[in-house]
Structure 1
Amino acid sequence: MPLIKNRYGKGRVRVMRIHRDGERQEVSQLNIKAMVEGDFARTYTDADNSMTVSTDTIKNIVNVVARENTGLCAEEFCQVLARKYLDTYPQISSVALTSHETRWTRLSFDGKPHPHSFVLDGNGRPTVEVAMARGEAPTLASGVDGFAFMKSTQSGWESYVKDRYTTIPETADRICATSMVASWAWSAKPASYPAANARILDSLLKVFSTTYSKSVQDSLYRMGEAALAAVSEISEISMACPNMHFIPINLAAFGLDNNNDVFLPTDEPHGQIECTVGRG
């Protein structure tokens, strides 16, 4: 029987880099999955390991490249790492890397940023995906996973399909909240990946926060338009937004109206809204 497809690698390779620039230090904590494809079929079909690189070695190379490149942002680091595998092992034909970053935010005291103290930022994990094949141009996407945001008003859900299965009432004033997974594909290198990523997130949040939302779908499309307008180096942006629901609690048993003030938070089952916006 033929072996149709195979790849292997190392997942959850965690590494913290510290880059020192005089008194000031920068930290970057990454969780990396590195997968390779190439001339490895005989390991599966003939128990022949002679061409196969150990997954432990794949992990070790992450640490070596981290030591040699403490100052690179995640996007640049992952590209250097992918190239290292291809340059070191001719039997590897392509590499796919996925990186999730744990964000540490610099502390400030009396308005002055501290050179080496940080607090954990728990809202969302920046992501990087790199695919690099021998002899071909690499593809690169950045994004964020689990980035939560909400607004307490200026959101509605009206004029939708109604039939005998419909129970949800219309509203022109509801909480809108989500934990977004988003990624954007780079068509050119920006002057700074971190600065460009920050502009993209700022543009998404500005549209979400400052405009009325007729639906999550309505907001997502306009958010995508704003991100593409803000950063010319991306070709498209994909967003997946599970609703974080807040259900009005019935207080009639206590002789009280709710007045849209008190809610039960719940995240399942949840609406799942997804879209990709690209350049025409």
Structure 2
Amino acid sequence: MSSRLSAARYGKDNVRVYKVHRNPETGEQTVVEMTVCVLLEGEIDESYTKADNSVIVATDSIKNSIYILAKQHPVTPPELFGSILASHFIQKYPHIHATHATVVTHRWARMDIDGKPHPHSFVKNGEETRTVQVDATEGVGIDIKTGIRGLTVLKSTNSQFWGFLRDEYTTLPETWDRVLSTDVAADWQWKRLRDLEDVRANVPKFDSTWTAARDITLKTFAEDNSASVQNTMYKMADEILAYQPLVETVEYSLPNKHYFEIDLSWHKDLKNTGENAEVYAPQTNPNGLIKCTVDRSSPGQVKGKL
């Protein structure tokens, strides 16, 4: 049988990194915890096809490089650290032509004790993470995608769903007031940057845009009298694009975590539906899943399956 290797990449995944920055003047400390993945591409085919290991940068060496680079360079914002990682392997090894670095930053918030921020104690706010994907290709540039994961939100009113297609398969009733809850997964793709110096020149934009995207997501979710998840997520994406001109596309993936009314009329005519609903049954699955990608190429146009 004739065969060929059509694609190959390898590296080190799930590298846990914690870094502390100590300010000797104030005594304040800042901590960053990350999970890192680095994958390499290049002239490595013969390690697969001819058992030639001479082209392999050992995955243990990749892990060590991550630790050393974290010591030698800033790890915030993660877009910068991911670009430092990705650029390092291309510059260090002539036969490596592309690096893919994923940095997941775990959210630690400084404790307030007696109304004051504590200098070295932190609390973990749920499972929310800041995600960064950096793809550096020799002679091409650096592509960066930033995201939010694990941000769970709920509102108890101001969500509607009516006027949808009805046919012989439809049993869902229309509603003008329902519980809306979701686990936010949002990503925004930055315009391609030339090199690491171009990334450094844009460092202030990464943190400010992440904060703005998170704030826009929460504010729109809370304040929009939602006609549908589809319409609300489009409004979120549109505002992020308006905020940051260097962002080319925004993607959302929002599961609709259902909370169903419980009919309790069978028990002494107890009213618990419609305007009298107070007790609900949270559902695990199945759930709705709504996705969209919004870009600048066609104003008002949404790409992707809704």
Report the TM range for the smaller structure's normalisation. Answer: over 0.9
Contact map agreement 1:213 1:219 (CA 8 A) in 2: yes
CA offsets 1:181-231 (integer angstroms, 9 cap, x no match): 111112373524222211111112211211210100010111111111222
* Aligned equivalent of 2:239: 226
Q: CA–CA distance in 2 between the matches of 1:226 and 1:207? A: 9
Q: 2:42 aligns with which of 31, 38, 43?
A: 38
Q: CA–CA distance in 1 between the matches of 2:166 and 2:66? A: 54
* Aligned equivalent of 2:19: 17
Paired residue type of 2:248: S
CA offsets 1:5-64 (integer angstroms, 9 cap, x no match): 111111111110111222121111111111111111111111110111111111111111
Contact map agreement 1:148 1:178 (CA 8 A) in 2: yes
* Aligned equivalent of 1:2: 4
Show the 5 A alignment for 1:29-178: 29-70=33-74, 72-178=76-182
Question: Which one is further off, 185-194 or 92-101?
Answer: 185-194
Contact map agreement 2:11 2:62 (CA 8 A) in 1: yes
Contact map agreement 2:185 2:252 (CA 8 A) in 1: yes
* Aligned equivalent of 2:271: 257
Structure 1 unaligned spans of 5+? none
* Aligned equivalent of 1:240: 253
Aligned partner of residue 133 in structure 2, secondary structure = strand
Q: CA–CA distance in 1 between the matches of 2:111 and 2:103? A: 25
* Aligned equivalent of 1:275: 292
CA offsets 1:233-253 (integer angstroms, 9 cap, x no match): 312210000111101112122
CA offsets 1:112-163 (integer angstroms, 9 cap, x no match): 2111110011142110000001112100111111211121111011011111
Shift of residue 81, structure 1, vs aligned partner? 0.9
Aligned partner of residue 247 in structure 1, secondary structure = strand
Aligned partner of residue 83 in structure 1, secondary structure = helix
Task: Provide the TM-score with structure 1 as the length reference.
Answer: 0.96
